[in-house]
């Protein structure tokens, strides 16, 4: 399966949310990263045929998705942020209702709904009304409804929002097992979730692709730009504010270790560190402060 955008463009007034975007996706898990306003949600809505582009097109196996119409939509699973639900429905009734909308027969709908409730850890809560659910439980239900029709293209907008660490592990395992022979696109600000399961990373900035490739390939772009520096804990906050700092941790001797992204050595005692995806995110989406070590 191949899903391809060709010069895809979408504007809202004077703002270009998606700007002549060309990208080709095949079976696999894609992590979509970008700062707020980068165009991620607009791209996902275009891929789901919820919004129409101003210019360009999306093709599935060479066919325009607009012309495919219902045939294309039947292949989709989508979790928007936030997703709509009926608060007085029970979890099971809600999934059965969505199953009916997606054209699943009664027997298949019941089997699929119960199986997904089990998969997302909600089988014991199937008869509870959704309005009594916590935010994380609602999010898990949203993930289940997106997967009801066993979609070939699954698009998830901030799927791990509100999930605790154990729930996020469950989600990652679920998606990894589900993704074989499918296209899965997930957008999240929790970079570690993408780092664990995404086979390809898509970096979006100002409606364009800033980086696209396997995690280690694009992380290699910042080889030699990640540093660890030890500073007195008393001035750690000030030092961290002066640089693009991805992390800091306290040592046992009244000192703090800063992890800094910089083109050149930021401090005299800085040593190079192995970059990771969070470092890359910071490199792309946070402007470096203008302060230098001399100003500290």
What pLDDT, on the 0 to 100 scale, is given for residue 291? 52
Contact yes or no for 144/119 (Cβ under 8 A): yes
pLDDT in tens, 231-273: 888 888 888 888 999 888 888 788 899 999 998 998 889 999 9
- Residue corresponding to tokens 């961290």: 240
The string of DSSP letters for 208-224 reads EEEEEE-HHHHHGGGTT
Question: Which residue positions in the chain have pLDDT lower than 50?
Answer: 292-296
- The rounded distance, in Å, linking the Cα atoms of 29 and 179 is 7
Helices and strands (H, E) in the chain, number of each type: 11, 14
Q: Are 218 and 198 in contact (CB under 8 A)?
A: no
The token duo for 30 is 């894609």
Phi-psi region of 49 (alpha: psi -120 to 50; beta: other; left: phi over 0): left
The rounded distance, in Å, linking the Cα atoms of 71 and 211 is 31
What is the per-residue pLDDT for 84?
86
Q: What is the dihedral of CA 283, 288, 293, 296, to 10 degrees?
A: -130
CA distance 146 to 285: 29
State pTM to two decimals.
0.87
What are the φ and ψ backbone dihedral angles of 84, each rounded to 5 degrees? -85, 145
Q: Chain-wide mean pLDDT for the chain?
A: 90
Q: Which domains does the chain have, with CATH numbers?
A: 2-219 (3.40.50.300), 221-295 (3.30.70)
Query: How far, in Å, CA of 38 to CA of 5, rounded?
Result: 17
């Amino acid at each position: 399966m191949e899903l391809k955008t060709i010069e895809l463009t979408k504007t809202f007034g004077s703002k270009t949310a998606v700007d002549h975007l060309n990208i080709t996706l095949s079976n696999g898990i894609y992590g979509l990263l970008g700062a707020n306003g980068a165009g991620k949600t607009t791209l996902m809505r275009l891929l789901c045929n919820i919004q129409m582009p101003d210019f360009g097109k999306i093709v599935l196996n060479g066919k325009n998705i607009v012309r495919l119409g219902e045939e294309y939509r039947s292949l989709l699973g989508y979790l928007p942020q936030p997703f709509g639900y009926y608060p007085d429905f029970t979890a099971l009734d809600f999934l059965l209702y969505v199953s009916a909308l997606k054209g699943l027969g009664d027997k298949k709908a019941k089997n699929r709904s119960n199986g997904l409730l089990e998969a997302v850890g909600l089988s014991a809560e199937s008869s509870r009304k959704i309005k009594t659910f916590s935010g994380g439980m609602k999010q898990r239900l949203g993930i289940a409804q997106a997967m009801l029709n066993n979609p070939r293209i699954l698009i998830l907008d901030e799927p791990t929002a509100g999930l605790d660490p154990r729930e996020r592990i469950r989600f990652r395992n679920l998606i990894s097992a589900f993704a074989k022979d499918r296209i899965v696109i997930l957008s999240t600000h929790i970079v570690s979730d993408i780092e664990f399961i995404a086979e390809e990373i898509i970096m979006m900035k100002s409606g364009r692709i800033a980086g696209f490739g396997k995690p280690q390939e694009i992380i290699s772009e910042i080889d030699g730009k990640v540093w660890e520096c030890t500073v007195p804990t008393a001035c750690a906050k000030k030092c961290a504010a002066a640089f693009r700092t991805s992390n800091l941790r306290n040592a046992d001797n009244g000192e703090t270790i800063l992890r800094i992204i910089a083109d050149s050595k930021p401090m005299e005692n800085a040593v190079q560190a192995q970059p990771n995806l969070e470092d890359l995110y910071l490199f792309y989406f946070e402007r470096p402060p203008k302060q230098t070590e001399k100003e500290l």
